[in-house]
C-alpha cells in the first residue's frame, strides 16, 4: 500500500492506528477526525502537510512521530498523551521542541530517536519536563542532561 485512503477519517470508533511499518506510506490529513483514537504508531510516513493531531483528546500514546509532523502549537491540546516517541530530524531546534513538550502536563515517558546525520549537542533543555519518569535517548549525544534536572527519573 502506498497511500492510506482519506476515508480513514470515517472510522470514528477506531482506537489504535499502527502504520509504523509502512515505510513511505502517504497519510492524508484526516487522523484528526478519529475522536476515539488512543494509540497512534507511525514512522517514515509521507504527508503533504503536517498532520493535525490537536483534536485527539483521547490520544494517550503517540509513537515514532517524525519531527516534521510535530506541530509545537498543538502540544498543549494533547492533554491525554503520556507516552511519546519522536523521530528527530536533521533540522532540529531542541529549544522549540522542549518548550512544546513542557506544555504536555501528562507526559511521563519520552523517547527521542535521532538521525545519524545529526548530533544533539546538549539536552539540558529537557529540564522543564518535570513529570517525566522515563526518558530514552537513541542518539549520540555530546552532553547528557544533568540528572539533578530529573528528580523523578530512575534510569536514563
DSSP state of 102: H
Identify whether the C-beta of residue 67 lies closer than 8 Å to the C-beta of residue 97.
Answer: yes
Which cell is 116 given?
545519524
Identify whether the C-beta of residue 92 lies closer than 8 Å to the C-beta of residue 73.
Answer: no
Instruction: Give the pLDDT confidence score for residue 61 in this predicted structure.
Output: 98
- Measured CA to CA in angstroms, residue 119 lies from 21, 92, 144 at distances of 25, 10, 12
Question: Around Cβ 135, how many Cβ atoms within 10 Å?
Answer: 21
Beta strands in the chain (DSSP E): 16-19, 39-42, 61-66, 83-87, 109-113, 120-122, 134-138, 141-143
**CATH class belonging to 6-149:** alpha beta
Instruction: Give the pLDDT confidence score for residue 69 in this predicted structure.
Output: 83
Cα gap 40→9, rounded to integer Å: 14
pTM: 0.82
Supply the Cα-derived Rg of the chain in whole angstroms: 15
Band the pLDDT of 11: cuts 50, 70, 90.
very high
Model confidence pLDDT, tens digit, residues 79-91:
999 999 998 876 6
| Interval 101-111 mean pLDDT | 92
Amino acid at each position: 500500500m502506498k497511500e492510506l485512503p482519506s476515508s480513514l477519517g470515517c472510522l470514528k470508533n477506531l482506537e489504535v492506528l499502527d502504520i509504523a511499518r509502512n515505510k513511505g506510506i502517504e497519510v492524508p490529513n484526516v487522523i484528526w477526525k478519529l475522536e476515539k483514537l488512543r494509540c497512534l504508531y507511525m514512522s517514515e510516513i509521507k504527508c503533504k502537510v503536517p498532520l493535525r493531531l490537536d483534536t485527539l483528546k483521547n490520544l494517550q500514546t503517540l509513537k515514532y512521530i517524525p519531527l516534521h509532523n510535530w506541530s509545537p502549537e498543538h502540544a498543549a491540546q494533547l492533554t491525554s498523551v503520556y507516552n511519546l516517541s519522536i523521530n528527530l530530524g536533521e533540522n532540529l531546534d531542541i529549544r522549540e521542541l522542549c518548550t512544546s513538550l513542557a506544555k504536555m502536563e501528562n507526559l511521563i515517558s519520552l523517547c527521542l530517536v535521532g538521525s545519524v546525520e545529526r548530533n544533539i549537542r546538549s539536552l539540558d533543555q529537557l529540564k522543564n519536563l518535570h513529570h517525566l519518569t522515563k526518558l530514552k535517548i537513541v542518539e549520540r549525544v555530546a552532553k547528557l542532561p544533568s540528572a539533578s534536572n530529573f528528580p523523578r527519573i530512575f534510569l536514563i
